[in-house]
A and B are shown apart, each in its own frame.
Chain A
């Protein structure tokens, strides 16, 4: 029974640990912005803590650079379960502009399993609050894949495409 109460109380009091894995600090400033009185996120019970051992959620900002990769993994391992990771900013979502440079391992998903992505460069504080509210279940998801076609084509083109798609690298990047 205590487990049930604890589970119900978990979304109402999320403690957040902010981990900067090589960010330019733009996303860090926006994360700090949501703790200010104007966008106050403490009304959801969210508190910023300094130690990963006290935290439930890791806010990961920054493309995970090579020196910070083991450190991010250690910070994630230090968090007691149940835990979530939010990737804030385009760098944490997929590596940003620097996803294939020499020093970047390519975004939050290479280091830790990311649960929620908040893209933006930097994301507006409202966008981060929207991501938090989405995780808490207060709002519905607004992003959806968009497909636009100029003309409808006969079916065999798509079948031929499937064979080509098996060898295609582009789609692999997306579906990872």
Chain B
């Protein structure tokens, strides 16, 4: 049964991530008073990208490897997490640090691809992506470490479901605020979509990718968004704790949907910040997250 859970995880994340992205685009369009694309639009985008020609413009192995590495890392993360409050066969053998490591691996493969592109715009996008990753991954790490401190175990299940294990407290509340503010940076939406979706100002790190490679990066980003939205629901909102596995999954998916609606609303009403303004905000968020972990260590 736990092995089936792995496949359920991977399939659900893979198939539903574009749907949530479509919901987000539709809400952004409605906030802008226009009709917007149909909700299944990202599926059309992905299938169309799979049918395009693949141009290997940089000619080196890193260029070809990067999208595969990114997709592999996010699939690994997704197969490990205890979706639906059930720790599956793989999740029982890893701990919270592995998840952070694998997510960082995804970011690093984006950087690899961008720097292998031999394009100035991609290099600028890569440098901004590096800055963002360095400043924002600590908040994720500290969310999981908070769970580990409060449940006294570094395992993935207890670390993620810390509110189930040890109840709500002040440190969890402070961490909730920090995670919520950093959520926009995790999912790369305004006001913090500086490196990735920055096709409007400069080209992002994906400028030289075409066809199936770009499709792989897009599904990587969509699954990353869904993972972070789900993580918020799993760590801080105590729904989906009933004993029934399908009901858990459904409740957590609904929670993820609500989080996506909030992301879309915040994203469409905010401008994009410059990298130096964003770094100042990230620094404050790291301090708040550290404060929450400190409170948890102090036992509050």
User: Interface on A for B, CB 8 Å cutoff?
Assistant: 2-3, 5-10, 12-13, 15, 36-38, 40, 42-45, 49-51, 53-54, 56, 78, 80-82
A7 to B51, CA, bound (A): 7
Give B42-64 as 1s and 0s: 1 = Cβ < 8 Å from A's Cβ atoms: 01110110111111010000000
- B203 close to A45 (CB less than 8 A): no
Q: 19 A-B residue contacts at CB 8 Å?
A: A3-B51, A6-B47, A6-B51, A8-B47, A9-B43, A37-B33, A40-B29, A40-B36, A42-B35, A42-B37, A43-B38, A50-B202, A50-B203, A50-B207, A53-B57, A53-B210, A54-B209, A80-B54, A82-B53
What residues of B have a CB within 8 angstroms of the CB of A13 in the complex?
41, 44-45, 48
Report A109 CB to chain B, min CB distance, Å. 23
A38 to B208, CA, bound (A): 32
What residues of B have a CB within 8 angstroms of the CB of A36 in the complex?
34
- B48 close to A80 (CB less than 8 A): no
What residues of B have a CB within 8 angstroms of the CB of A42 in the complex?
29, 34-37
Q: Tell which of A10, A37, A51, A78 touches B51, judged by Cβ atoms closer than 8 Å.
A: A10
- A53 close to B44 (CB less than 8 A): no
* B283 at interface by CB-CB < 8 Å: no
- A40 close to B47 (CB less than 8 A): no
A56 to B203, CA, bound (A): 17
Asked whether A78 and B55 contact (CB < 8 A) given A13-B45, A50-B200, the answer is yes
Give the number of residue pairs across the A-B interface with Cβ within 8 Å: 92
* B291 at interface by CB-CB < 8 Å: no
* B269 at interface by CB-CB < 8 Å: no
Sample of 8 more A-B contacts, CB < 8 Å, known A6-B48, A43-B37: A10-B51, A42-B34, A42-B36, A43-B35, A45-B44, A54-B210, A56-B48, A80-B53
A40 to B36, CA, bound (A): 7
* B32 at interface by CB-CB < 8 Å: yes
What residues of B have a CB within 8 angstroms of the CB of A43 in the complex?
34-38
What residues of A have a CB within 8 angstroms of the CB of B47 in the complex?
2, 5-6, 8-9
- B207 close to A51 (CB less than 8 A): yes
Shortest Cβ distance from A36 into B: residue = B34
- B53 close to A81 (CB less than 8 A): yes
A13 to B41, CA, bound (A): 7
Interface centre among B32, B48, B210 (most CB of A within 10 A): B48
Report B209 CB to chain A, min CB distance, Å. 7
A42 to B209, CA, bound (A): 23
* B211 at interface by CB-CB < 8 Å: yes
What residues of A have a CB within 8 angstroms of the CB of B32 in the complex?
37
- A51 close to B203 (CB less than 8 A): yes
What residues of B have a CB within 8 angstroms of the CB of A54 in the complex?
199, 206, 209-210, 214
- B207 close to A53 (CB less than 8 A): yes
* Closest CB pairs A-B (n = 7): A6-B51, A37-B34, A80-B53, A40-B34, A9-B47, A13-B44, A53-B210
Report A123 CB to chain B, min CB distance, Å. 21
Q: Tell which of A3, A37, A45, A80 touches B55, judged by Cβ atoms closer than 8 Å.
A: A80
Asked whether A80 and B52 contact (CB < 8 A) given A9-B44, A45-B41, A54-B210, the answer is yes
Interface centre among A38, A42, A82 (most CB of B within 10 A): A42
What residues of A have a CB within 8 angstroms of the CB of B33 in the complex?
37
Q: Tell which of A44, A56, A78 touches B52, judged by Cβ atoms closer than 8 Å.
A: A56
A37 to B211, CA, bound (A): 29
A20 to B214, CA, bound (A): 25
What residues of B have a CB within 8 angstroms of the CB of A2 in the complex?
47, 50-51
Cβ < 8 Å to A, chain B residues 18-45: 29, 32-38, 41, 43-45
What residues of B have a CB within 8 angstroms of the CB of A38 in the complex?
34
Q: Tell which of B37, B38, B43, B55 touches A53, judged by Cβ atoms closer than 8 Å.
A: B55
- B48 close to A9 (CB less than 8 A): yes
What residues of B have a CB within 8 angstroms of the CB of A80 in the complex?
52-55, 210-211
Shortest Cβ distance from A37 into B: residue = B34
What residues of A have a CB within 8 angstroms of the CB of B48 in the complex?
6, 9-10, 12-13, 56
Give B204-235 as 1s and 0s: 1 = Cβ < 8 Å from A's Cβ atoms: 00111111001000000000000000000000
Report A73 CB to chain B, min CB distance, Å. 16
Shortest Cβ distance from B122 into A: residue = A51
- A53 close to B209 (CB less than 8 A): yes
A8 to B40, CA, bound (A): 14
Shortest Cβ distance from A5 into B: residue = B47
